[in-house]
Amino acid sequence: MNKHLLSAGDLSRNDALLVLDTAAQLAQVADRPVKKLPTLRGRTVVNLFFEDSTRTRISFEAAAKRLSADVINFSAKGSSVSKGESLKDTALTLEAMGADAVVVRHGSSGAPHRLANSGWIGGSVINAGDGTHEHPTQALLDAFTLREKLAGGEGDLAGKKVTIVGDVLHSRVARSNVLLLSTLGADVTLVAPPTLLPVGVETWPCKVSYDLDPVVPDSDAVMMLRVQLERMTDSYFPTAREYSRRYGLDNHRMSMLREESIVMHPGPMNRGMEITADVADSRRSVIVEQVANGVSVRMAVLYLLLGGYSPAQAEAEQTVEGS
C-alpha cells in the first residue's frame, strides 16, 4: 500500500484484497464485549472536515477509536478563513500537533492530493471525499458489502454485474467505485442521462447506458446515487418527476431484479427521487449494512496505513539506505 489513500485507482488488486480481507477480520471486533484493539495506541488521527458529513466523520472516528488511536475532530467549515491559505495553515497546525494521519473531506477536488504532496505535513492522508473527484473508502465499503453478499465474503468480484445509476458527473462515489470494482474484476455499468455523464466516460473501465430498464434484469447489484435537486435548476434534467420515471428505482423496476440481487445506496438518500421508500426498506436493500461495513473497512485502512512503520521511520530508513 502507498503511504496515502487518495484515489481508489491507487489500489492494486492485491492492495484492495488486503484491505477487504483485513476488514473481514476486523469486523469481528464489533461483536466482542470489548470493541477495541490496542493497535494504534499513541497514534493521532485527525478528522479534517471542510464539508459537513456527519456519517463519514463518525465512521472514521469509530474506526480510529476501535484501534485505540487518539482522535481529533477538526471542522474547518465556516471558519474565518474560507479559502486558500486556510488549507495550508490548517495543515501546518496539524503537523505541529503531530498528526500521524489526516482524514480529509473537502469540497474542492484534489485537496487531499495537495495535502499529501505539498510538503506541509508528514503523516498519511486519507481522502474522505474530495469535491467531485473521489471517495475511496466508500468504494471499499461498497466492495466489501458486494463481496459479502455476492461472493461469499472472499476473493474478488470477478464477473459480478454492478449497475451504478444517477448523477455520475458530480459523484465522487461513482468515480471511486468504477476504479475499484473494475480492479476487482466486476462488470460495472453506469446509467445516467447524457447530461450527467462526464466527458470521456467512454474511456472509463465500464459500460455506459442511457436507459435503466434494459440493464436491471441482468444486474447482481444496483447502486443508486443521490441526485440533488439543484441539478434540475441547472437544466441537467427537466423535472424531478421525469428523472424518477426514467432513472429512479421503484418497486416495478426492483421486481425485474434477479432473486439474489441487491440494492445499494451510499446515502444520504432522497427518498422519492432516485429511490422509493419501499425499495430502500426492502429485504434487498443493504444500505444499513453498508454503514456497518464502513467502520470495518476504515479500520482496515487505518491499520494498514498506520499499523506498520511510521512514515517518519520509513523515511529515516530510506535516508540510511540511500547514503
Partner 1 sequence: MSRLVISGASILNRAPADIVVAGDRIVEVGKPGSADTSGARVIDADGLIALPGFVDLHTHLREPGREDAETVETGTRAAALGGFTCVHAMANTEPVADTAGVVEQVWRLGKEAGWCEVRPVGAVTVGLSGTHMAELGAMAASAAQVRLFSDDGKCVDDAVIMRRALEYVKAFDGAIAQHAQEPRLTEGAQMNEGVLSGTLGLRGWPAVAEEAIIARDVLLTQHVNSRLHVCHVSTAGSVELIRWAKSKGINVTAEVTPHHLLLTDELARSYDPHFKVNPPLRTTEDVLALREGLADGTIDAVATDHAPHPSEDKECEWSAAAFGMLGLETALSVVIESMVNTGLLDWAGVADRMSVRPAAIGRVKDQGGLLEPGQPAHVTLVDESVSWTVRPEELASRSRNTPYRERVLPGRVVHTIFNGKPTVIDGRTERVH
Partner 2 sequence: MNSPRVRTVFEAEDIDRVLTRISHEIIERAKGAENLVLLGIQSRGVPLARRIGSRISKFEGIDVPVGALDITMYRDDLRLRPARALEATALPDVGIDGRTVVLVDDVLFSGRTVRAALDALNELGRPRVVRLAVLVDRGHRELPIRADYVGKNLPTSLKEAVRVKLTEIDGEDAVTLSSVPDSPRGGPGPAGDAA
Which residues does the annotation mark as catalytic?
A: 55-56, 83, 105, 135
Smallest separation, CB 137 to partner 1 (Å): 16
CB of residue 321 vs partner 2: minimum separation in angstroms? Answer: 13
Binding mask 52-91 for partner 2 (x = CB under 8 A): ---------------x------------------------
3-state class (DSSP) for residue 282? coil
- Binding positions for partner 2, 248-307, rule CB under 8 A: 303-307
Which part of the chain contacts partner 1 (CB under 8 A), choosing from 18-26, 102-110, 139-147, 278-286? 102-110
Question: Alpha-carbon distance 157 to 162, whole Å?
Answer: 10
Q: In the bound complex, what is the minimum distance in angstroms from residue 282's beta carbon to partner 1?
A: 32
Q: Which three cell numbers stand for residue 293?
A: 461495513
Window 29-48: residues binding partner 2 (CB under 8 A): 32-34, 36-39
Residue range at the interface with partner 1 (CB under 8 A); choices 114-122, 145-153, 184-192, 298-306:
114-122
Contact 258, 220 (CB under 8 A): yes
Instruction: Dig out the grid coordinates for 123 from the structure.
Output: 503523516
The option from partner 2, partner 1, none interacting with 240 (CB < 5 to 8 A, set by class) reads none
313 is a site residue for partner 2 (CB under 8 A): yes
Site string for partner 1, 216-255 (x = CB under 8 A): ----------------------------------------
> H helices of the chain, where?
13-26, 54-66, 85-96, 111-117, 136-150, 172-183, 230-233, 240-247, 251-255, 277-280, 287-306, 311-322
Kindly state the cell numbers that stand for 228.
Answer: 440533488
284 binds partner 1 (CB under 8 A): no
How many Å apart are CA 24 and CA 121, to the nearest integer?
A: 31
Four-CA torsion 287, 289, 292, 296, nearest 10 degrees: -120
Measured from the CB atom, is 40 or 224 closer to partner 2?
Answer: 40
Q: Binding partner of residue 11 among partner 2, partner 1, none, CB under 5 to 8 Å per kind?
A: none
Residue 18 interacts with which of partner 2, partner 1, none, CB < 5 to 8 Å by class: partner 2
Size of the site for partner 2 (CB under 8 A): 24
* Alpha carbon separation from 17 to 11, 147, 206, 210 (Å, rounded): 9, 10, 20, 32
Give the residue among 206, 186, 152, 183 at the shortest CA–CA distance from 16.
183
Distance of closest approach, residue 170 Cβ to partner 1, in angstroms: 8
Residue 32: name its binding partner from partner 2, partner 1, none (Cβ under 5 to 8 Å by kind).
partner 2
Location of C-alpha cell 462526464: 198
Q: Which of 108, 209, 282, 310 binds partner 1 (CB under 8 A)?
A: 108
Q: Least distance (Å) from partner 1 to the CB of residue 230?
A: 13
- Determine if 200 is a binding residue for partner 1 (CB under 8 A): yes
For residue 37, count CB atoms less than 10 angstroms from its CB and return exposed for 0-12, middle for 13-18, buried for 19 or more.
Answer: middle
What single-letter DSSP state applies at residue 225?
P
Q: If DSSP states are collapsed to H, E and C, what string results for 245-277?
A: HHHCECHHHHHCCCCCCEEECCCCCCECCCECH
The footprint of partner 1 (CB under 8 A) covers 83-88, 106-111, 113-114, 117-118, 130-134, 172, 175, 198-201, 203-204
